[in-house]
Amino acid sequence: MSKNKKRKTYVRWPLYMIILLAVMAGVICAIDRRAGYVAFVTMLVYAVIAIFSWLRSRPALRREMVSFATHYGQIQKRLLKELPVPYALLGEDGRVLWSNTEFRNITGKSLKRGRPVSSVFHEINSSVFPVPEDPVVTLALSFEERDYRAELKLIDLSEDAREEEEELGTDFEGQLVALYLFETTEINRYIRENREQRMVAGLVYIDNYDETLENVEEIRTSLLVALIERKINKYFGAYDGIVRKLEKDRFFVVIQEKALDQIRENKFDLLQDIKTVNIGNEMAMTLSISIGSGGATYMDCMEYARSAMDLALARGGDQAVVKTKDQITYYGGKTQQIKKNTRVKARVKAQAFRELVETKDSVVVMGHQLTDMDSFGAAVGIYRAASTLNKKAYIVVNQVSTSVKPMLEMFEESIGREQGVIIGSAQAKEIVDRNTVVVVVDTNRPSYTECPEILSMTPTVVVFDHHRRGNEVISPAVLSYIEPNASSACEMVAEILQYFADNVRLKGGEADCIYAGMVMDTDNFVSKTGVRTFEAAAFLRRSGADVTRVHKLFRSDMAAYKARAEAVRHAEVYRGFALSVCPGKGLESPTIVGAQAANELLNIVGVKASIVLTEYAGRVYVSARSIDEVNVQIIMEKMGGGGHLNMAGVQLECSVEDAMKLVRKTLEDMFKEGELE
């Protein structure tokens, strides 16, 4: 009920009383006629008096009501003008219709009546205005070095609201937006100071401490160590940090959050500065730095730092990793990790893997989607290890490419009558249970595996991979062997087989498959090779691998050769990067051809790295390759992928044109930020 109706009801109450008395007189008359006449006369007298009084006082009552309404409106108007909270009324077009004194004191003459509010507060425009479904909108803004919290409230004008707007001097009809400003400058300053003064935990490891000191004269050893420690202490001391030595090659660091921001801006230049220390050492020392920030407690920050250090070491060292609750950021990592000749780690992992397999009933092995030679060859090696312990083993392959098909046929021929070894995802889901070991090879990302669902169907998951770890990891894994300095997953598996059991005997076809995976990932033993790579190859040769048979596996058909040549012919060189698109139409395995084209482009003089795009099955597959001058892995990580320092890739769900634009933009941004030279 409106205010006008309430006022009319209040004024007409004597009329309702007359009607009530008339009814009562009628009832009394029915009982006693004389008494009814008396009641009726009484009702008439009351009616005459009430009507006379109402007619006489009506003008005075109306004058009092008008006076009260006017006085009330003036008070309300004055209170709005003098309200200590900045307040303004905006039209649907964002123009100021009315504002109080406090609002005008803030904006001054720059925001007069009729001007759009966005001319002063750029954050407030029609796109952020409230709507009936969301009548209140809150946003933060700044004006003249002051911070404000703006609250926008939608006002749907009713009849009374329009009357009040007329009292305020506007003739607007429709909807209004009320704007309130609440200053938050001091609160934000306190929040910022509190954040900047929070302590963050850090760890600093020397990656190659023992390897560097091996080739240094004994008299210079202590001097080299002292110089390294001095640089670390001096670097963090400049940011008011505390450094404590935990072991000979490990340090604990505590700094403030504001210091971390400055170190981030400098991109952890200690990583490069430490390499300049040279007092006769043939090998430069490198550091791995991890920082844990944003934890609810100091213990949380320390756990973040430990986790970040695991990532830094798993990715090859010589880099810094900053981990918060929701984000992981990488810095550095531009150099190849020092290859270690010791195989102690491989022996320990092999023995641990054997103990796991012995306690389970079956083993299911899978690699990444669109299985390649390295992935399938590593899976074959794990199959042979499980079979040696008389465990039923299966290899998950959903799609067989032209490059893998000859290997698959060779493997099936070598195992003879044994059927059902190669299975798909549907069969894997039926086989896997709590007594199954699921082994993932050649990838450490769950979303990249052939069947991610089976990872959660068993508590026993093992990972063997040679790619650097990213933000997405397979967790929990009871055994994780990630060796970024290995040439391939096949090299890792070949080492595992040597220590797995004394009676492991590879068949000729199986040795060929593992050897082919190594040849594929090393580009015929040209890149990423070390002493352990050739030792693994020698083991496979002794086990029956035939170089001629393996060479035949790499032959391609005429269509693939022409597509690869077409990609090379149309390549464009941009600041040392060869960029091209490999035509995938008519090819059975276009992604393999694209990777081969990327390798071919590295043979061109002046090309430091190559990036080839291939469209296949609604996605764009990006293959990045380099020799030694560029770390393509950090480029692909910027685009959501990963890989190795000189071999990486990413899968994009967009058109080839958009993917090429993204590649160019990523390269341009990295050149501007100094991440590429």
pLDDT in tens, 568-578: 998 999 888 99
Helical pair 558-569 and 590-601, crossing angle rounded to 10 deg: 50
The structure tokens listed for 84 are: 């200590």
Residue 290 β-bridge partners: 203, 321
Concatenate the DSSP letters of all residues of 144-179 into one string.
Answer: TTEEEEEEEEEEE--HHHHHHHHHTT----SEEEEE
Amino acid (1-letter code) at residue 429: K
Mean pLDDT of 216-237: 88
Residue 202 β-bridge partners: 253, 291
Q: End-to-end CA distance of the chain, in Å?
A: 75
The CATH code of domain 199-332 reads: 3.30.70.270
Please write the tens of the pLDDT for every residue from 148-165. Answer: 888 888 877 654 444 444
Q: In the prediction, which pLDDT does 65 show?
A: 62
Regarding predicted confidence, which is higher, 316 or 250? Answer: 250
Per-residue confidence band for 234, with pLDDT thresholds at 50, 70 and 90: very high
Regarding predicted confidence, which is higher, 269 or 163? Answer: 269
The CATH code of domain 84-191 reads: 3.30.450.20
Cα–Cα distance, 178 to 575 (Å, whole number): 54
Mean pLDDT of 605-617: 90
Q: In the prediction, which pLDDT does 221 show?
A: 86
Q: Which residues contact 640 (CB under 8 A, 6 or more apart)?
A: 650, 652
Please write the tens of the pLDDT for every residue from 365-418. Answer: 999 888 888 999 999 999 999 999 999 999 999 988 777 888 898 898 888 767
Q: Which residue has the tokens 């220590």?
A: 499
Model confidence at 203: pLDDT above 90: yes
Mean pLDDT of 630-642: 85
Residue 340 CB coordination number (10 Å): 16
Model confidence at 171: pLDDT above 50: no
Model confidence at 256: pLDDT above 60: yes
Mean pLDDT of the chain: 83
The CATH code of domain 353-553 reads: 3.90.1640.10
Mean pLDDT of 107-123: 77
Q: What is the pTM of this model?
A: 0.59
Q: Which helix (H) or strand (E) holds 428?
A: helix 425-431
Cα–Cα distance, 123 to 130 (Å, whole number): 14
The phi, psi pair for 488, rounded to 5°, reads -165, 165
3-state secondary structure of 199: strand
CATH class of the domain whose range is 558-672: alpha beta
In 448-605, which ranges are continuous DSSP H helix? 489-500, 508-521, 531-542, 547-553, 558-569, 590-601
Is there a contact between 639 and 666 (Cβ–Cβ < 8 Å)? yes
Q: In the prediction, which pLDDT does 1 show?
A: 45
The structure tokens listed for 422 are: 């190669």
The phi, psi pair for 181, rounded to 5°, reads -120, 130
Q: In the prediction, which pLDDT does 73 show?
A: 65
Please write the tens of the pLDDT for every residue from 433-484. Answer: 999 999 999 988 898 899 999 999 999 999 999 887 777 788 778 898 888 7
Strands 436-441 and 287-292, sheet pairing? unpaired
- Sign of dihedral through CA atoms 675, 639, 612, 451? positive
Q: In the prediction, which pLDDT does 512 show?
A: 92
Q: In the prediction, which pLDDT does 330 show?
A: 85
